[in-house]
């Protein structure tokens, strides 16, 4: 359950929070990417006191949570753009 939380759920929540905080896809994407990298790195350090996971393991699993965070940013950004209703003239 803990890997599911850290690799999928937390990145999605970080992506949503970043988009709601900045309301700009570029800033939110960068914030979500860095936030997820920090969370996964800290989780690997704190969640494995025996040291069987190292920085290389974190590097190998990092694309999955970053992808989930960026997908969340894009989905929330896209929904906010639809609601604004840009009209063509």
Classify residue 88: in a domain, yes or no: no
Classify residue 86: in a domain, yes or no: no
Residues whose CB is less than 8 angstroms from the CB of residue 7 and which lie 6 or more positions away in sequence, other chains included: 40, 61, 64, 65, 68
Classify residue 87: in a domain, yes or no: no
Percent helix / strand / coil, the chain, rounded to 5: 80, 0, 20
Question: Is the pTM of the predicted complex or chain greater than 0.85?
Answer: no
Residues whose CB is less than 8 angstroms from the CB of residue 41 and which lie 6 or more positions away in sequence, other chains included: 55, 58
**Structural domain boundaries enclosing 60:** 2-79
The count of structural domains within the chain is 1
Residue 4 token pair: 């599911």
Classify residue 39: in a domain, yes or no: yes
Classify residue 84: in a domain, yes or no: no
Tens digit of each residue's pLDDT, the chain (89 residues): 777 888 899 999 999 999 999 988 899 999 999 999 998 888 888 877 787 777 787 888 899 999 999 999 999 988 766 655 555 55
Q: What is the DSSP letter of 88?
A: P
């Amino acid at each position: 359950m803990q890997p599911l939380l850290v690799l999928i759920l937390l990145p999605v929540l970080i992506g949503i929070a970043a988009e709601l905080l900045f309301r700009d896809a570029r800033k939110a994407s960068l914030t979500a990417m860095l936030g997820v990298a920090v969370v996964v790195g800290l989780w690997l350090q704190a969640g494995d006191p025996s040291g069987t996971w190292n920085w290389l393991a974190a590097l190998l699993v990092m694309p999955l949570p970053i992808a989930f965070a960026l997908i969340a940013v894009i989905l929330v950004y896209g929904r906010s753009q639809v609601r604004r209703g840009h009209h063509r003239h």
